[in-house]
Amino acid sequence: MKLKTTALVSLTIMTVLVLGVAAIEIHHRVRFGQFASYGVHADVVEDRSDLDIPGIRTVYAARVTDFTLFPLVLVGFEDAGDSPPPMFYCRYQVQKLSPRDGDWIVLFDFNPVKDEHFSASHKKLYPFRSLVPMQTYAIGARDDVQKGDLVRFAIFTNLYAGEPDVYTEPFRISEVRATASPPARSAQ
């Protein structure tokens, strides 16, 4: 009898774990269009914003999620910005796929260690928790990006690392800065 009870409890625990993982994966698939594997994962988040940039209404950011069993310690910096509490940011790059050779070109490297004097800050990202470690970015407003270009974010979980730790899936730029139309000629 004790063996049957132990087997039933074990089977129940395994079923709950499998259903829990399946629910997380299905939720992620519905929300971001892909499944997430074990490890640190990054997804693109789009938002609408009024930026006063002609033709640009979409801004992008990356959401980092810890799909492990242990907390991940991120090394970044805190910025108080306009209001408390301070926001935690990581180093990131915006990369564009080169149509010529298929390599990823770094368009923008947000690396405050090089440019400014920020002191490093640590933040724990607990399992199955997410964080947006960057401000939203209007990639379409850049002069070196065209409509339809494939771009991605590369996120550094350590501010001082030489290479990014996680990349978002590539996504296409759907809007770019509108250029001023030439003045209309009068018919004479």
> pLDDT tens for residues 57-79?
889 999 999 988 899 999 988 87
* pLDDT at 26 exceeding the cut of 80: no
Average pLDDT score over the chain: 81
List all residues 6 or more positions away from 95 whose beta carbon is below 8 Å from its beta carbon: 104, 105, 106, 107, 151, 152, 153, 154, 167
- Cα 63 to the chain's mean position, in Å? 4
Q: State phi, psi for 23 to the nearest 5 degrees.
A: -65, -40
Question: What pLDDT sits at residue 77?
Answer: 85
List all residues 6 or more positions away from 14 whose beta carbon is below 8 Å from its beta carbon: none
List all residues 6 or more positions away from 119 whose beta carbon is below 8 Å from its beta carbon: 77
Q: What average pLDDT does range 138-154 have in this prediction?
A: 91
H-assigned helices in the chain? 2-32, 112-115
Question: What pLDDT sits at residue 93?
Answer: 94
Question: What pLDDT sits at residue 188?
Answer: 46
Q: State phi, psi for 28 to the nearest 5 degrees.
A: -65, -40
pTM of the model: 0.74
Residue ranges covered by each domain of the chain: 1-35, 37-172
Interval 76-132: pLDDT, tens:
888 766 666 778 889 999 999 998 898 999 999 988 776 566 778 899 999 989 999
Where in 68-187 does DSSP place strands (E)?
A: 72-79, 87-89, 91-97, 104-110, 121-125, 130-131, 150-156, 166-167, 171-172
Fold observed for domain 37-172: Immunoglobulin-like (2.60.40)
| C-alpha–C-alpha distance, residues 128 and 117, integer Å | 32
Inter-residue contact 21 to 148 (CB < 8 Å): no
* pLDDT at 51 exceeding the cut of 80: no
* DSSP code for 137: B
Q: What average pLDDT does range 147-168 have in this prediction?
A: 91
Interval 166-181: pLDDT, tens:
999 999 998 888 775 4
